[in-house]
């Protein structure tokens, strides 16, 4: 990391984490979607979907998620396990950017199959994590493969679930994992999963985070891909080895709120 003043940069970023890692962060952000639920499985399902649909304006993302879950009577876990064919008809109209009815129905099929056998979506990630893994890369690869293991998995849906195998920075899934795994007293992230350590998380790299990270010298690699996400996270680990991804709040806040 090329930055002349390590202590100064750490203090600056710590101050921004404290500023943005607050409950006030929730309402304008897609993380507000899972915050509307209390059942663990509902939080997992809505959190996952909100993260996957998180591209474009935040207001639009939130509206689209609300529209989607209203079609499931705002009880997605119950809907996914117990719906009839007829119940799926309204969902054929759902669309956000390139996410369409085929993708929606496959997500429901995956969740139904998965939750009939497992209590928590965490196990889909944990089964790919090796004991000595420094980060969640293997878990993401395994999750992608498990997600598309159903016999009728549509090829087109694969573009919505990133994997390091395709060199993707995996921004959306990393954001979802931050929500589920990180734990503190500030109430933005849920901390309901305990098998993955916060130290293993990779920083979600959206355009704002990337821009600020480059300005601060936290990223040198030219393109934005999986290696770049690792580079950024490795540098953030120098500030806090146990919880590097808390700095996502600082970088995102600086980018979106302060146009840094």
Specify if 111 maps to a domain.
yes
For residue 2, pLDDT over 90 is answered with no
* Residue 67 is assigned to a structural domain of this protein: yes
Q: What is the mean pLDDT of residues 178-205?
A: 97
pLDDT confidence of 1, banded at 50, 70, 90? very low
The answer to whether residue 1 sits within a structural domain is no
What is the average pLDDT score of the chain? 96
- Domain of residue 37, residue span: 6-256
Question: Does 107 score more than 80 pLDDT?
Answer: yes
User: Is residue 65 in a domain?
Assistant: yes
| Ramachandran class of 104: left when φ > 0, alpha when ψ lies in -120 to 50, beta otherwise | alpha
- Which of 5, 1, 50 shows the shortest CA–CA distance to 190? 50
Per the structure, the count of domains in the chain is: 1
Does residue 42 form part of some domain? yes
Please determine, for residue 253, whether its predicted confidence score (pLDDT) is greater than 70: yes
Residues in CB range of 82: below 8 A, 6 or more apart:
none
Name the pTM for this structure.
0.96
Flag whether 58 is in a domain: yes
Does residue 75 form part of some domain? Answer: yes
Backbone angles phi, psi at 99, to 5 degrees: -85, 115
Q: What is the DSSP string of 5-30?
A: -HHHHHHHHHHHHHHHSSGGGTTTSG
């Amino acid at each position: 990391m090329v930055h002349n003043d390590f202590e100064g940069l750490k203090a600056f970023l710590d101050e921004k984490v404290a500023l943005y890692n607050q409950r006030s962060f929730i309402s304008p952000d897609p993380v507000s979607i899972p915050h509307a639920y209390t059942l663990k499985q509902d939080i997992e399902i809505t959190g996952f979907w909100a993260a996957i649909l998180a591209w474009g304006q935040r207001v639009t993302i939130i509206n689209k998620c609300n529209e989607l879950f209203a079609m499931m009577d705002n009880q997605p876990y119950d809907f996914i396990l117990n719906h009839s064919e007829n119940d799926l008809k309204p969902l054929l109209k759902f669309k956000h950017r390139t996410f369409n009815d085929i993708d929606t129905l496959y997500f429901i099929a995956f969740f139904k199959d998965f939750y009939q056998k497992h209590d928590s979506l965490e196990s889909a990630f944990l089964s790919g994590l090796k004991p000595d893994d420094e980060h969640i890369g293997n878990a993401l690869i395994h999750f992608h493969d498990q997600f598309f293991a159903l016999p009728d998995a549509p090829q087109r849906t694969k573009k919505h679930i990133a994997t390091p195998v395709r060199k993707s920075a995996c921004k959306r899934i990393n954001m979802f994992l931050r929500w589920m795994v990180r734990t503190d007293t500030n109430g933005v992230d849920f901390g309901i999963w305990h098998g993955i350590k916060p130290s293993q998380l990779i920083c979600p790299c959206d355009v704002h985070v990337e821009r600020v990270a480059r300005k601060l010298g936290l990223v040198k690699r030219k393109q934005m891909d999986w290696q770049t996400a690792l580079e950024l996270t490795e540098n953030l680990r120098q500030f806090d080895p146990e919880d590097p991804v808390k700095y996502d709040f600082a970088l995102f806040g600086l980018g979106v709120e302060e146009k840094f």
